[in-house]
Amino acid sequence: MHSTLFPGLFKEYGDRVLFIYKDYPLEEIHPWAVHAAVDANCLAAQNGDAYWDYADYLHANQHSISGEKGRDGQNAELDKLATSQGQKHSLDVPKLQACVKAQDEKAVRASMREGEAVGVDATPAMFVNGQKLDGAVPAEEIRLALDRALQDAGVAPPEHKN
C-alpha cells in the first residue's frame, strides 16, 4: 500500500485531497515497529522529507531490520538509520539523537488507540471520507474511492493516464 500511495497517487491527486498518515505499528509481527515509529516521528519533528525517506526505506527493507540479532540489535540499527537520515537532511543531530534515545511512545500509542477506535485491526488500512479500504487494495480501487469523494465534494478529480 505504501508503494501504491507514495509517490504515485500522492502526486496524481496533489492538493485535491488531504492525506493523513497515522502510526499503527504491528508489534506482533515486527517487535521493533513501535521503536521505528518513534524514530520516524523524531525525524518528522524536524523535517518531513527525512521522515518519508526513513519510512520508505523501512517499508522496502523490513527484512534488513528483522534480520538483526535480537531486539537490541534491531533497535540499534533503527537508531543508526534515523541518525543517518538526520545527517543526510542536515537536521539538528544532537536534538534528533536525544529524541531517539528518549523513545517517548505516547504519540505512537495514541495513534494506535485512535486506529482501534475506528476499526483498524491490521495494516494497511485506509479511510476515504469514512469509507474503509482494508488491505493492500489496487491503485484503481483507491482512485475510484478518491474520485467519488471528490465528485461528492464538487471537486473535479484529476485526469488519469492509462
Q: How far apart are CA 54 and CA 52, in angstroms?
A: 5
DSSP letter string, 97-125: HHHHHH---HHHHHHHHHHHHTT--SSSE
Assess whether 131 and 110 both reside in one domain.
Answer: no
pLDDT at residue 68 in the model: 67
β-bridge mates for residue 133, sequence order: 126
Q: Write the pLDDT tens digit of every residue in 47-59.
A: 999 999 999 899 8
Percentage of residues of the chain with pLDDT beyond 70: 99
Assess whether 104 and 129 both reside in one domain.
Answer: no
Range of the domain at 155: 1-24+120-162
| Residue found by looking up cell 500500500 in the block | 1
Assess whether 140 and 101 both reside in one domain.
Answer: no
Assess whether 33 and 105 both reside in one domain.
Answer: yes
Assess whether 51 and 104 both reside in one domain.
Answer: yes
Residue spans of alpha helices (H) in 118-162 = 139-152
pLDDT at residue 157 in the model: 95
Assess whether 29 and 2 both reside in one domain.
Answer: no
Q: pLDDT below 50 — which residues of the chain?
A: none
Assess whether 90 and 144 both reside in one domain.
Answer: no
Stated pTM of the model: 0.87
- What's the longest Cα–Cα distance across the chain? 53
Helices vs. strands in the chain: H and E counts, helices first? 9, 2
Please check whether residue 160 is in contact with residue 142, taking contact to mean a CB–CB distance below 8 angstroms.
no
Please check whether residue 42 is in contact with residue 107, taking contact to mean a CB–CB distance below 8 angstroms.
no
Assess whether 134 and 147 both reside in one domain.
Answer: yes
Assess whether 34 and 66 both reside in one domain.
Answer: yes
Assess whether 69 and 148 both reside in one domain.
Answer: no
pLDDT at residue 162 in the model: 64
What is the amino acid identity at position 92? D
Q: How many domains does the chain have?
A: 2
Q: 10 Å Cβ neighbour count for 120?
A: 19
Q: Give the pairing of strands 131-134 and 125-128.
A: antiparallel
- Quick check: helix, strand or coil at residue 127? strand
